[in-house]
Structure 1
Amino acid sequence: MSFRFKILEKSRINEIVPLMQELTSFKVSEALLKERFAEMITQNYECAVIFDGDHLIGLSGMWFSTRHYAGKTVEIDHVYIADAYRNQGLGKEFLSWIYEYANDKGCNTAELNTYVQNYPSHKFYYNEGFEILGYHFLKKF
């Protein structure tokens, strides 16, 4: 298998929608995801992807910002690798690529959120050197 990591061109952002629908337990329609990604790509958002040949098998959103407690940071968002490709070291390799990319953009930290019920991700991120700093809250209005 020849895996390729890259930044997805903004014009191709809708290609990630099927994987996003597999990732989230929050059912969001294809149309709404496309609308939201169209807005996100106009902000400080980029999407890193993994290809196996020409087949899109993984992704991670990246938000770039400067925070008072962390400096210039990349927030890794909605990381997903297709089931058939998990537990082969690909996630670790992908994050290493993201760290290098973010570092080249001047970031000195990475941060992320993960769902509290997603125990396998907790272990993975601990092993990547992440620390829990707090809770993420959401209020809809």
Structure 2
Amino acid sequence: MSIQLAESEFKILGCFPVICQLRPYLESAKFVEQVRYQMKEGYKLAFLEVEQQAVAVAGFRISTSLASGKLLYIDDLVVDEFKRSNSYGKQLFQWLIEYAKNHDCKHLSLDSGVQQFAAHRFYLMQRMSITSHHFSMEL
């Protein structure tokens, strides 16, 4: 088992079967191109690998805001639905915390869909707090 950043096309594509469980509208043919585009804006893709297969994936970025200072924001966090309850999510989450600390971040945050009750339980168990409501609109 190892956790690493997906930087090669092969490693990025290896994350697709897991991340599409969270983002089912993604197309494998465009996935690497989309991730590469986002990487130009600071996006990183980390994955926990077991037996040469990604079983948990996190997409994240480091940024700075007036509200939080320097922070690590998690865009995507998902564990393969057939590999859950093996502490993979917890291990990847702890890796993200350490990554944030090592990069002098003062906060770690994410948004989670209101329907994601299991994810909410997980985040609360990781000692995260619900600190705001997220509002959005399609344009």
Shorter chain as denominator, the TM-score bin is 0.7 to 0.9
TM-superposed CA distance for 1:120, in Å, is 0.7
Structure 1 residue 13 corresponds to structure 2 residue 26 = no
Q: Which residue of 1 aligns with 2:37?
A: 39
TM-superposed CA distance for 1:32, in Å, is 4.2
Q: Which residue of 2 aligns with 1:96?
A: 94
Could you tell me which runs of 5 or more consecutive residues in structure 2 were left unpaired when the two chains were aligned: none
Q: CA separation in 1, counterparts of 2:41 and 2:128? A: 25
Matched residue of 1:38: which SS?
Answer: helix
- Counting only pairs closer than 5 Å after superposition, residues 68-107 of structure 1 correspond to structure 2 as 68-107=66-105
Matched residue of 2:121: which SS?
Answer: helix
Q: CA separation in 1, counterparts of 2:97 and 2:8? A: 20
- Counting only pairs closer than 5 Å after superposition, residues 101-120 of structure 1 correspond to structure 2 as 101-120=99-118
Question: If the length of structure 2 is used for normalisation, what is the TM-score?
Answer: 0.88
Percent identity over the alignment is 23
Structure 1 residues 65 and 124, CA, compared in 2 at 3 Å: closer, same or farther?
Answer: same
The Cα RMSD (Å) is 1.8
Structure 1 residues 28 and 83, CA, compared in 2 at 3 Å: closer, same or farther?
Answer: closer
Contact 2:64 2:70 in 1 (8 A): yes
Could you tell me which runs of 5 or more consecutive residues in structure 1 were left unpaired when the two chains were aligned: none
Question: If the length of structure 1 is used for normalisation, what is the TM-score?
Answer: 0.86
The amino acid across from 1:54 in the alignment is Q
